[in-house]
Amino acid sequence: MGGERVLSRNVIVVNPLGSMLAHYGRALTQNLESAGMTTTVLSMDEPSASGGSRLRWLASCYWLLFHARLQCARHGGSVILAWPMLGYLDVVCVRMLLGRRGLVVLHDPDPLVRAVGYGRALKWLARRLNCLVVTHSDEATRVVARHGLQRIVCMPHPVLDRSPAKRPTELRSVYVLGQYKPDRDIELMESVARELPDEVSLRVAGRGWPEVAGWSVDSRFISEGELETMLSGESTVVLVPYRRFFQSGIAMRALENLVPVVGPADSSLAAVFGSLGTLPSSQEPQAWVRAIHRAFDTDDQKLRAQLGRQAYASSRAWKSVLEGNMYSHG
């Protein structure tokens, strides 16, 4: 058969944040398998979860990448690095180690805090090597393009397509979930709290949060089990009060539990929640309050339909990219 290539549907997902990205990894592998792929997951818990040293964690993660390369050499397929440990250094390493078999998901191409691996020299090298980067939002894609990369694929954020229990209808609770970061809009949250009636419960849960007037704040680390309970049985609406973000994993978790999301209309949320009418028309607090009231009345069936569309879009996009990638190794 001469130089004809045989398409391999093997996909190895390397997850260096095995604790923090556990749910993302499950959603990604489900969407890949729905697209007809066979998946293998190689994961390593991050130092904050394992208690180990950062250097040992990095060494173990790079060994996982090398092991994935050996597996591909034997059986064919592609490798997805679910999160780069060291930014563009890993983008370059994946390109050199795996050629066109390797893809890196770049969730945060412009970190809010100082991070290793995002210097100009590494971005230049990633451009020269024609590295392939996957993003999950138009905002992230624009940042990577400004860095000079040309092989950028914007993919729908993975979600678990499941049948969650019906949301409690008697509750009126608004949750803000996730670790505190400087781009959280506390001023907006306080303004919203003043506008909403007293019977609406306002809660914040996540590590590092300061006090927020009008909100009940739990600043502990929230375990996976606690997060699932909050999403599946306690929250009526999830609020995403960010000034700047690329994508929201919490918003995707809310969708999986049929919980409507209220957040900036000029963000990655628009593609998922825009048709549901739960995004405010402006940054005025009153617009956010109106959006929250609309979210209280969102029909579960609309959310369930959107969940199915998101999962299908993710599966179809990965199928297209990986099959094209597998045919063009080099």
- The better pLDDT of the pair 167, 203 is held by 203
Other CB atoms within 10 Å distance of the CB of residue 297: 9
Mean pLDDT, rounded, for 183-192:
95
pLDDT digits 0-9 by tens, 214-251: 999 999 999 889 999 999 889 999 999 988 888 899 99
Q: Residue 264 and residue 316: Cα distance in Å, rounded?
A: 27
Residue in the structure block whose two tokens are 């971005």 = 123
Question: 224-252 burial string, b = 16+ CB within 10 Å, else e?
Answer: eeebeebbbebbbbbbbbbeebbbbbbbb
Report whether pLDDT(4) > 90.
no
Mean pLDDT, rounded, for 6-21:
86
Band (pLDDT 50/70/90 cuts) for residue 3 is very low
pLDDT digits 0-9 by tens, 257-280: 999 999 999 889 999 999 999 999
pTM metric for this prediction: 0.90
